[in-house]
């Protein structure tokens, strides 16, 4: 009988151990789940903050681009103001000497060309050069003794390039064969 008592005592001890082990595993798993849920909540908040920051950066970039577009010509226009003032002053003069008015217009034109040059624009004035279909548009052919055929004899309208990119071709007359 003693063996039976020992056996029942061992069974009682053995049957208690799995319950304690299961309860311990359950507590550990619940703690781990709580820890993972907290980490998940932190990561979710981080993602939301990052998403909001990216949206804010996108809005700032959009606003900055809009401002840049709206005021891109500010420097150019500030440089054109003296030209505008010169033209207004010339138009305000009543009567007067045509030579003086012509000189004023010439100075105003030079100021305007200087502003254009400061911003990368240059005139295409090809008199005496061979016709370049990339930069010139021949509108007539004229007899020009002493000029090689295909040479630009006169410019009817000057052309312009902006940083080596053609804005408008020069309208030219070319020497005949």
- Beta strand 136-142 with 170-175: parallel, antiparallel or unpaired? parallel
The model's pLDDT over 49-91, given as tens digits with 9 standing for 90+, comes to: 999 999 999 999 999 999 988 888 888 888 999 998 888 888 8
Q: Residue 55: what pLDDT?
A: 97
Cα–Cα distance measured from residue 127 to residue 156, given in angstroms and rounded to the nearest whole number: 10
Cross-strand pairs, 154: 173
Per-domain residue ranges for the chain? 120-177
Is CATH 2.30.22.10 the classification given to domain 120-177? yes
pTM over 0.75, yes/no: no
């Amino acid at each position: 009988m003693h063996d039976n008592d020992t056996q029942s005592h061992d069974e009682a001890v053995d049957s208690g151990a799995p319950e304690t082990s299961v309860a311990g595993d359950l507590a550990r798993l619940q703690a781990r789940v709580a820890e993972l849920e907290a980490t998940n909540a932190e990561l979710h908040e981080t993602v939301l903050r990052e998403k909001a920051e990216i949206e804010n950066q996108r809005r700032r970039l959009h606003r900055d681009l809009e401002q840049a577009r709206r005021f891109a010509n500010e420097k150019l226009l500030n440089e054109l103001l003296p030209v505008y003032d010169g033209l207004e002053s010339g138009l305000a003069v009543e009567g007067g000497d045509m030579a003086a008015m012509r000189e004023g217009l010439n100075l105003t034109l030079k100021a305007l060309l200087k502003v254009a040059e400061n911003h990368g624009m240059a005139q295409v004035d090809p008199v005496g050069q061979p016709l370049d279909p990339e930069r010139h548009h021949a509108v007539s052919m004229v007899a020009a003794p002493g000029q090689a055929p295909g040479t630009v004899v006169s410019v009817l309208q000057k052309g312009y390039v902006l940083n080596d990119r053609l804005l408008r071709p020069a309208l030219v007359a070319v020497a005949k064969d």
